Amino acid sequence: MSSLIDPFGRTVSYLRVSVTDRCNYRCVYCMSENMTFLPKSDLLTLEELERICAAFIRRGVDKLRITGGEPLVRRNVMSLFRNLGRHLNSGGLRELTLTTNGSRLADFADELHDCGVRRINVSLDSLDPGKFNDVTRWGRLDDVMRGLEAAKSAGLEIKINTVALKGYNDDELDDLVEWTGREGFDLTFIETMPLGEIDEDRTDRYLPLSAVREHLERRWTLEETDYRTGGPARYMKIRETGKRLGLITPLTHNFCESCNRVRLTCTGTLYMCLGQEDAADLRTPLRMSEGDGRLMDAIDEAIGRKPKGHDFVIDRAGADPAVDRHMSVTGG
């Protein structure tokens, strides 16, 4: 079958799949403390998610990232990893990976490796137990540290994702670089994104990564590199630690020109852009027949509407979120 080519000539080869909108944390920049989650009856079954993923693989998608919410809180989610891992063995899939908050890694790290996962992203915004609890509202740093140790022991390559937040972790930037270097982890800093209503004004926490880089360069030697993972991060090497530093800058530097990814929600909605509301319903054609003809047609129509880029803006004059849905709905 032909590859998926968007209107701007970009080949779509990367699918991010949210298996649940639920999370066992309530990070202050991501969601409200009292969230209303989707009824479980609205979610695709794990078998339906696998079927959609298989359709994308047949169309040339060779990288899948499983996300949430927190994907490891979904019941029986490892059956999805096991079934998708078969596409690694057949050569249809180049990489199967995961983004997690790390709280349940201690339970699943070995099994993830057995399923063919070799690289994971772990969201971690502070090394201070008190601040970690504050930003996650419910989280315990010890749980994540145990999960990271289990992941290392299982042979998983780990990248830490840290949202840079003014007045929260801007005094830990050097500590995070030093710690990840010592542990053998790569590190990516991310600007907070205007997605969904939360309980505070995001402009109070917004920290441009241009300021983060300026701060880090006072202590660390950052060397440019052409390394890419298929995601939006721009990477450099930290000479002193030998590890990579990534910067994801949706606000200060639009990263859309080489976008090769789309996002599937746990309800079967396909978002062609994280920062746009336009979406396609894949659940209906999926359930209309046992064959995948209607599903393939819906995928083609959706990719034909993929926009050139997002329109993220964060300022007090436009205090409403750029997109109403929370990140946990679309997938991290």
194, two tokens: 């205007």
pLDDT of residue 282: 97
pLDDT of residue 174: 98
- Closest of 267, 186, 273 to residue 8, by C-alpha: 273
Residues in a beta bridge with 15: 64, 262
Tell me: pLDDT of 319 over 80: no
* Residue 330 pLDDT class (50, 70, 90 cuts): low
Domains in the chain, ordered, with CATH?
Answer: 14-159+257-330 (3.20.20.70)
In angstroms, rounded to a whole number, what is the distance separating the alpha carbons of residues 34 and 184? 36
pLDDT of residue 328: 47
Question: Of the ranges 209-213, 242-246, 258-262, which one carries the lowest mean pLDDT score?
Answer: 258-262
Tell me: pLDDT of 246 over 80: yes
DSSP 155: T
Q: In what order do the strands lie in the sheet with 279-281?
A: 222-224, 234-238, 244-248, 186-191, 157-164, 119-123, 95-100, 63-67, 14-18, 261-264, 269-271, 279-281
Q: What is the pTM of this model?
A: 0.87
Chain segment 29-47, per-residue pLDDT in tens: 777 777 778 888 889 999 9
* Residue 315 pLDDT class (50, 70, 90 cuts): very low
In angstroms, rounded to a whole number, what is the distance separating the alpha carbons of residues 183 and 185? 6
* Residue 230 pLDDT class (50, 70, 90 cuts): low
Chain segment 155-198, per-residue pLDDT in tens: 999 999 999 999 999 999 999 999 999 999 999 999 986 544 44
pLDDT of residue 195: 47
Chain segment 72-90, per-residue pLDDT in tens: 999 999 999 999 999 999 9
pLDDT of residue 313: 46
294 and 242 Cβ atoms separated by less than 8 Å: no
- For the chain, percent of residues with pLDDT exceeding 70: 86
Specify the 3-state DSSP secondary structure of 152: helix
Mean pLDDT for 148-156 is 98
Helical residues (DSSP H) of the chain, grouped into ranges: 46-58, 77-90, 105-114, 129-136, 141-154, 173-183, 209-216, 283-288, 293-303, 327-330
61 and 15 Cβ atoms separated by less than 8 Å: yes
Chain segment 118-146, per-residue pLDDT in tens: 999 999 999 999 999 998 988 999 999 99
Tell me: pLDDT of 300 over 50: yes
Q: What are phi and psi of 131, to 5 degrees?
A: -70, -35
- For the chain, percent of residues with pLDDT exceeding 90: 71
* Residue 324 pLDDT class (50, 70, 90 cuts): low
169 and 228 Cβ atoms separated by less than 8 Å: no
Q: Which amino acid is at 9?
A: G
Tell me: pLDDT of 248 over 80: yes
Tell me: pLDDT of 200 over 90: no
Provide the b/e sequence for 284-313 (b: ≥16 CB within 10 Å): ebbeeeeebeebbebbeebbeebbeebebe
